[in-house]
Amino acid sequence: MTSEPIEQWRILRTAVPGPASQALQARKLAAVSAGVSTGLPAYVERGAGGILVDADGNQLIDFGSGIAVTSVGNGAPRVVQAVQRQIAELTHTCFMVNPYEAYVAVCEQLNDLTPGDHDKRSALFNSGAEAVENAVKVARHVTGKNAIVAFDHAYHGRTNLTLAMTAKNMPYKHRFGPFANELYRVPMAYPYRWPGGPQHCADEAFGYITDQIHAQIGEENCAAVIIEPIQGEGGFIVPPRGFLPALAQWCREHDILFVADEVQSGFCRTGDWFACDDEGVIPDLVTTAKGIAGGMPLSGLTGRAELMDSIHPGGLGGTYGGNPVSCVAALASIETMRELDLAARAREIETILRAGLDKLAAAYPQVGEIRGRGAMIAMELVADPETKAPAAALTTAVNKACHAQGLVTLTCGTLGNVFRFLPPLTIGDDLLHEGLDILADAFAASV
């Protein structure tokens, strides 16, 4: 079964959202919990490459990839074929009941591709949050210690344990507590907002943060430090060079596991297979999800063999984790990433996005900083470049103006003032340029 190819250009047939989407949104309001919100309520029917087609026939440019998931693009041919074939052959057994090859093959790929060439083992789950939960389980089990350290601006999921690790109150945590205990938060090495000024972040952050862990928790109580090598939901915050290697080394010296949450930054998104690769950082445990399986739900936990194998048989698992259809989608996505060299493509996308954003920065003092790596780029908007007061209302206005023109954009940031770009890595140059033009118009109309 193949469907009509989708031409890779934007088409606006109605307002966005149009009447068909508005009718669906009325049904949504009557049927779906208000707690589940919709950023751009244009109901999508089909997608391919950098285009999403909505219920009114509008063709929208996708700068979000469903939050960094469809890195190979919707409808990637290998993924479609693999899923169609697999679903007709075998949908589910539960790997813990009757195993199948695809699960093993995905673990082999994870062991091979994640940072470091040491002996590794993996386990598969359904969501990023579940992978993080399992990283915490393994870290506590192996070290016999309890405390887990996470960072300001961190995002690790919406389950009770991962909410304790996620930093932002609204909308994630508000009135959903109490949260799991023995979770501690330390400042993030966030150059743009480092109290002593951006130029001092590289020198000061590591010492300040490890002093805090020592004084407030104690290394001997600390099972793991978990960090997103480039923070995602918290604002695409990139720590200064040298920070991650120093932190990983410090963890090793103190028998603390260094866990990289690569759920958002992994699988070619930042121009490498994983964001840790940029500085050769080798974590003890790595969590993956999102881009791994071209849109099918799958996540993984990969770690040093002796850590992952120290768990008793039956200690890790779940009914659906590593579902066969998701596993073949992952294998096909990884093959697509290799074949099209999507890591290199992410670096090309960075060049194009930065050129467009640099022009905006030159024209508007409200562009406080442009940062990120590969196809994970953001701009932080401020009301005044001196005070750096966050410009959340402007961020929302620009986002809405982009949506109205059929450009699917996302915001992020603890302060709600970061505009982020996460296009599929298979998007064409023309769509990137057109998206940047739409953004420039949206900016001009909103400031």
Residue ranges that bind ligand PLZ, judged by CB under 6 A: 67, 127-129, 132, 155-158, 228, 232-233, 261, 263-264, 289
Q: How many separate helices (H) and strands (E) can be counted in the chain?
A: 13, 15
Contacts of 123 (CB under 8 A, 6+ apart): 107, 134, 300, 301, 308, 316, 317, 321, 322
Give residues with Cβ within 8 angstroms of 253, minimum separation 6.
none
Output the six-digit token pair for 266.
């992994």
Cα–Cα nearest to 124, from 114, 134, 115: 134
Nearest Cα to Cα of residue 111 among 341, 288, 351, 316: 288
Instruction: In angstroms, give the least distance from the CB of 271 to ligand PLZ.
Output: 17
Looking at 65-146, which runs of residues are DSSP E strands?
120-125
Rounded to a whole number of angstroms, the minimum distance from the CB of residue 297 to ligand PLZ is 8
End-to-end CA distance of the chain: 48
Q: Rounded to the nearest 5°, which phi and psi values hold at 272?
A: -135, 170
C-beta closer to ligand PLZ: residue 67 or 440: 67
- The percent of the chain in helix, strand and coil, each rounded to the nearest 5, is 40, 15, 40
Minimum distance, C-beta of residue 69 to ligand PLZ, in the bound complex (Å): 9
- If the CB atoms of residues 68 and 307 are measured against ligand PLZ, the closer one turns out to be 68
Q: Measured between alpha carbons, how far is 392 from 416 in angstroms, rounded to an integer?
A: 5
401: left (phi over 0), alpha (psi -120 to 50) or beta: alpha
Q: Which residue is nearest to ligand PLZ (CB)?
A: 128
Q: How many CB atoms lie within 10 A of CB 389?
A: 13
Beta strand spans in 275-392 (E): 285-288, 299-304, 367-373, 376-381
Shortest distance, position 64 Cβ to ligand PLZ, whole Å: 11
Helix (H, G, I), strand (E, B) or coil at 373: strand
The least distance separating ligand PLZ from the CB of residue 45, rounded to whole angstroms, comes to 22
CB of 374 to ligand PLZ, least distance (A): 15
Query: Shortest distance, CB of residue 167 to ligand PLZ, whole angstroms?
Result: 12
Spell out the residues 6+ positions from residue 182 whose beta carbon is closer than 8 angstroms to its own: 146, 147, 148
Min CB(218)–ligand PLZ separation in Å: 26
**Pick from 145, 139, 151, 150: nearest CA to 311:** 139
The candidate with the shortest Cα–Cα distance to 332, out of 77, 122, 92, is 77
Smaller CB separation from ligand PLZ, 264 or 417: 264
Give the integer Cα–Cα distance in Å for 443 and 202.
32
Distance, in Å, from the CA atom of 41 to the CA atom of 37, rounded to the nearest integer, reads: 9
Nearest approach, Cβ of residue 253 and ligand PLZ (Å): 26
| Extended beta strands in 262-314, E state | 285-288, 299-304
Q: How far is the CB of 138 from ligand PLZ (least distance, A)?
A: 16
What is the rounded distance in angstroms from the CA atom of residue 186 to the CA atom of residue 209? 6
How far apart are CB 356 and ligand PLZ at their closest, in Å? 24
